[in-house]
Amino acid sequence: MTLHNILSYGVILLSAVAVASCAGATDDVYAIPERPIEEMSYTPERTTFEVWGPTAESAVVRLYDGDSLAQEIAMTRGDSGLWRATAEGDQRGRLYAFQLTVDGKTLKETAGIFAKAVGVNGDRGAIIDLRNTDPEGWSEDRAPEVKPSERVIYEMHYRDMTAHASAGSKYPGKYLGMAERGTRSAEGLATGLDHIVELGVTHVHLLPTADFGSIDESKPSDQYNWGYEPKNYSTPEGTYSTNAADPEARIRELKCLVKAMHDAGLCVVLDVVYNHTTSTENCGFELTVPGYFYRMREDGTFADGSGCGNETASDKPMMQKYIVESLEYWVKEYHIDGFRFDLMAIHDIETMNLIRKRLEALNPNILLYGEGWAASAPLYDESKLAFKRYTYHMPGVAAFSDDIRDALRGKLDLSAGGFVHGVEGNKEALKFGIVAGVEHPEVDHAEAWTIDPEQHVSYVSCHDDHNLRDRFEHISPEASEQELLKMVRLAQFGVFTSQGIPFIFCGEELFRSKHGEKNTYNMPDKYNAIDWSLKSRYNDLVEYYKGLIALRKAHPAFALESGDQVRKHLKFIECDNATAVGFVLDELEGIDSAKRIVVLMNGSRESVEFAIPKGSYRWITDGERWTLNGGDAVESNGTVTVAPISGVILAEF
């Protein structure tokens, strides 16, 4: 789960009236419009409004010039619970808000649930012409073509990447800061977007970008938040805009970033948080149809599978429709190439499969993955939810693998290290991660949860939890820096030689530190911003990461297409050492330029000898250098010795 301000929300009670209304309502009350709902539709001649309020007795839409009320229009109830109104004339530049009355109680104003542009802090919607937000060349913007075997995900936060003075950004912490090209550190090395391009990754995972409720946009500041506190799901957060008071600016500037990344050969993934809202009393769901969009306990309180005070109900028809259409909007309007789902197990499997179907119709190469867990048990049938163990029910949807994560680097609580620390008991879990969670006759760890390797996201660190440097310093306080760097390299070696999709957290390649802090969701830049001088100091590590990433492009055998291929081509090498693992990718004609690839990993503190199939091999990596198409010949009588805390790859061509 996302480890942010879990304790800051109390349980929020529904009013007795609202509970009674919801409890007594029939399915017929909640009729669902077949077409998409357009809460605001602008033309220079008129602007039309509609809001879904099937339990409301009345509704109005208010138009504002800044903070001044300019007009109030009574809305008329139509079919499928929709209330409609029209404002004649050119209304562009005004803000709007809906106010509904339910069971005799007038609710607070809201921007609605489908707002596509908002004013400061997202309390009111904004009347804009979306075409005015398109940057030059937007209609021709296209994502690059990326082979599934080459996918590598790089997770980043806007401020982490650009806020430090060493980033050399003109727009630190902003969308435009990440769109900049040519930024350099004081040492003359690429930073920001140029650095990401230089690494060779294919997909950039942007931490939550939809409007969230934890930072006051009206006060320019250096406030920091990961953004897992959603308020308006279909419009960008204003904190990252150069002008949060201009509703069009945040949209235009995010599009500029997407286009810059596409132009640079990168696909863009959004981290989305449809499983809960920043609060209930200030979000559009409760201010339009109280008690409907969330899962509710019998006593009228909010269920809390998210650990953040509420959990949304994807199993309800309008919530499902809402999530799907919001995601479609991000693909169509912002050209987004993939989504990462926070606490995906709060969503039901049916909804996740519908998301895949609908988004693949827009983009056959869409990348979908998420956290296959929840903070606590959601209030729904567990067997119907998108838990990691049921990933095989969701073809085309991937889940993060805590199996390979914990095996390589140890469990969350820091009670013990993992394979890279030389800790025994992690071998089978690592092998399970290497085969990407598919069923394999040589692995005895857990029940398979994937059908194909593309459903397995391999990682050892992300924004949550300690980053690798801090984690390893906690677990191994006596280790030298050189030994810590070896552990980092071996951990990522395990990730990139697994059959899953590799995922890395920004700055790990620079040996970044967050000063030992684990949960930096709202901490200042001191803890989160990347110091780009590290790139010069740890350039050898940067080059090692580049080699790992290039490996995926040079050798498709590390991304086999199916579970059947994994079982056919990947065989493990027997080794008595409890902290050493080896495997062979064999019979690769037609798959890879190599006929056979041997991968050996030694997490112990002593050299280990592996027995490998006899053949004429060449180095891909000896643990330090990379020669992806085959380097020096390896003179071997069928055995290879691997140094402590290192991984090697040999290939027969």
What are the tokens at 386?
A: 């998108």
Cα(74)–Cα(76) distance, integer angstroms: 7
- Catalytic option among 304, 371, 454, 592: 371
Separate counts of helices (H) and strands (E) for the chain: 15, 27
The answer to whether 548 and 496 have CB atoms below 8 angstroms apart is yes
- Name the residue among 70, 18, 105 with its Cα closest to residue 61: 70
**Checking DSSP bridges between strand 153-156 and strand 501-505, what pairing results, if any?**
parallel
Residues 572-583, buried b or exposed e (16+ Cβ, 10 A)?
Answer: bbebebebbbbb
- DSSP letter (8 states) at residue 425: S
Closest CA to 508 of 485, 527, 525, 481: 485
Of 248, 315, 342, 509, which is the active-site residue? Answer: 342
Output the CA angle 477-481-483, nearest 5 degrees.
Answer: 85
DSSP for 179-237, please give it: H--S-B-TTS-B-HHHHHHHHT-SEEEE---EEESSS-TTS---------SEEEEEEE-
DSSP state of 108: P
Residue 157, amino acid: H
Closest residue by Cα to residue 209 from 248, 181, 239, 164: 239
Helix 402-409 × helix 427-434 angle, to 10°? 140
**Which residue's entry shows tokens 């596509």?**
116
Residue among 502, 526, 480 at smallest CA distance from 644 = 480
Specify whether 371 is catalytic: yes
CA–CA gap between residue 544 and residue 502 (Å, rounded)? 15
CA angle (512, 513, 515) in 5-degree steps: 165
DSSP string, 509-523: GGT---TT-S--TT-
Cβ–Cβ under 8 Å, residues 279 and 213: yes
Please state, in angstroms and rounded to a whole number, the distance separating the CA atoms of residues 480 and 77: 70
The values of phi and psi at residue 500, to 5°, are -80, -175
CA distance 386 to 369: 11
Q: By C-alpha distance, which of 109, 102, 116 is closest to 47?
A: 116
Whether 576 is catalytic: no
d(CA 600, CA 258): 39
> Whole-angstrom Cα distance, residue 382 to residue 397?
18
Distant-in-sequence contacts of 214-222, Cβ < 8 A, 24+ apart = 214/5, 214/278, 214/522, 215/239, 216/121, 217/120, 217/121, 217/244, 217/245, 218/120, 218/121, 218/244, 218/245, 222/163, 222/173, 222/524, 222/525
Q: Which amino acid, residue 297?
A: R
The helix/strand/coil state of 283 is coil
Which positions are catalytic? 342, 371
